[in-house]
Structure 1
């Protein structure tokens, strides 16, 4: 497929890559976040182009893959996910027909029994409506493993933040794309399969990181009352409080990076609080 490159950021996930890489229908760039196992070898044997990093950049590693890709569109996948047959070709058709749309989020099916991903179900409710010119419900968030982006728009927006690492890193990019005037849409006819790995997962650490990133994203792009509300909500759990403390340590270094989004984008984001 000449219009799309799939970018996968991974670390120490050789078994997952053995299962997923052979299912992709487009060229794959694997960005290896300083793995200690044989992840790079597995990716190379599967035919992927591999970029080995000396340290773990987290989600920002995807930016390097997008920079190296020579295609108009970039589809992201995790090491434990893959796009359904025909989905990428259809995504290209949709994006070609909607030049004001920078990102499409696919419908995600989880596991062998193909359970609908709750985030996909929330997008299907169309809380932001279906504006004219978009190919589906408007969104201000997505799951990275199910997104295809217009490469130039993605890079112009700065890609994924190197501050957030992993865990809820998508919202900041969504806000930046919307602030730049791009449309983002949910396209349920596109399907991604996700078989979540259980390797090395720490639910408490994940919740702490997500709480931290919600706060940092709010600090970077939202008005101060929204930051205060999110900080107050974090106080309700141990992981939330830990995430709040983690975020507070980083805020002084991010003072110059604070750029609140335009009022229309913030109004749309505020509407999602109910969902």
Structure 2
């Protein structure tokens, strides 16, 4: 068993570093950080600031001198996690945004599961509102489209994707991936990372016991955001999947553009990134291709069988946040 206390025995040694991504949400960030530093696991906390222009930095520094702040000069989206994770000194890193916090005991349980299951690189947390009356629609979709309900010796359902804003990573694996791709940092970066995690022989698992709370539970996406998510998903497919799957992802993206009445501008943006994606093309192993196809089929079944849940998932975005 891993060491769990300082030499003095007065306080547990942090097993997990929590990285909080924020930009110009000072009240939410202060509230979230206060909840995290009060956890019984005493995690290290790093705030990854994406170029805030409000009082986020100064207020956090005065209220929480024990919290490390990584200040960015501009908004990097999900890529803002990269530098903060690089500075973490623990084996495991939990990622969340400024409206999400982990429940007491969740990080300790996640660390124990990762200790006991070295094949698992990422645990996707269960995200619920503060009263646990409603589960985030992305969690419901991930669970419903699991590639293995609970098999292959894994501690939970096997996934082919994860929520970037509610997960616990092996820090070493995250660094080996090179972090999140900045050009996909508004959505899709976690999809690319998941494919690379699976290609490296690791597993991604949905963990009910790793509970995170979020307020508000989900948000509506704008027309531009829907188009950007669809475009980025097509880019990821061209970077990692066989031509058949990349063409299918492109077709789905064009259908989204048409529904959002943005076929011309969004289609041009998709085409403009073609050379960039093809230069980074590296097709994943066959078993990962099979997993992604299983997930796409399961998603279609969920959308057909539970339209209300699927609609809520669509409106909250393919990405968790």
The TM-score by the shorter chain falls in which range? Answer: over 0.9
Q: 2-side partners of 1:62 and 1:240: how far apart?
A: 30
Give the one of 26, 34, 39 matched to 1:22: 34
Q: 2-side partners of 1:221 and 1:4: how far apart?
A: 31
Instruction: Please state whether the residue corresponding to 2:165 is helix, strand or coil.
Output: helix
Q: 2-side partners of 1:185 and 1:65: how far apart?
A: 23
Give the one of 157, 177, 183 matched to 1:137: 157
Give the one of 194, 208, 212 matched to 2:231: 212
Q: 2-side partners of 1:95 and 1:239: how far apart?
A: 45
Give the one of 75, 92, 103 matched to 1:84: 103
Structure 2 unaligned blocks of 5 or more? 1-12, 300-321
Q: Alpha-carbon deviation of 1:122?
A: 2.6
Do the aligned partners of 1:7 and 1:74 also contact (CA within 8 Å) in 2?
yes
Do the aligned partners of 1:112 and 1:195 also contact (CA within 8 Å) in 2?
no
Instruction: Please state whether the residue corresponding to 2:268 is helix, strand or coil.
Output: helix
Give the one of 26, 38, 41 matched to 2:55: 38
- Deviation >6 Å, runs of 4+: none
Q: 1-side partners of 2:222 and 2:254: how far apart?
A: 18
Is 1:54 aligned to residue 93 of structure 2?
no
Instruction: Please state whether the residue corresponding to 1:160 is helix, strand or coil.
Output: coil
- Residue by residue over 1:173-199, the C-alpha shift from the partner in whole angstroms, topping out at 9 and shown as x without a partner, is 111000000011011121111113999
Give the one of 193, 198, 223 matched to 1:178: 198
Q: 2-side partners of 1:4 and 1:215: how far apart?
A: 34
- Counterpart of 1:162 in structure 2 is 182
Do the aligned partners of 2:120 and 2:203 also contact (CA within 8 Å) in 1?
yes
Is 1:248 aligned to residue 277 of structure 2?
no
Larger Rg: 2
Q: 2-side partners of 1:178 and 1:202: how far apart?
A: 28
Q: 2-side partners of 1:52 and 1:9: how far apart?
A: 10
Q: Identify if the C-alpha distance between structure 1 residues 244 and 75 changes in structure 2 by more than 3 Å, giving closer, same or farther.
A: farther
- Larger displacement relative to structure 2 (176-185 or 7-16): 7-16
Q: 1-side partners of 2:273 and 2:31: how far apart?
A: 37
Q: Alpha-carbon deviation of 1:261?
A: 0.7
- Normalised by the size of structure 1, how large is the TM-score? 0.92
Do the aligned partners of 1:210 and 1:243 also contact (CA within 8 Å) in 2?
no
Instruction: Please state whether the residue corresponding to 1:175 is helix, strand or coil.
Output: helix
- Normalised by the size of structure 2, how large is the TM-score? 0.80
Q: 2-side partners of 1:84 and 1:204: how far apart?
A: 33
Instruction: Please state whether the residue corresponding to 1:136 is helix, strand or coil.
Output: coil
Q: 1-side partners of 2:147 and 2:221: how far apart?
A: 33
Instruction: Please state whether the residue corresponding to 2:184 is helix, strand or coil.
Output: coil
Q: Alpha-carbon deviation of 1:205?
A: 2.5
Is 1:104 aligned to residue 126 of structure 2?
no
- Counterpart of 1:147 in structure 2 is 167
CA RMSD between the two structures: 2.1
Do the aligned partners of 1:16 and 1:197 also contact (CA within 8 Å) in 2?
no
- Residue by residue over 1:68-98, the C-alpha shift from the partner in whole angstroms, topping out at 9 and shown as x without a partner, is 0100000001110000111000000100000
- Larger displacement relative to structure 2 (264-273 or 116-125): 116-125
Is 1:10 aligned to residue 38 of structure 2?
no
Q: Alpha-carbon deviation of 1:254?
A: 3.0
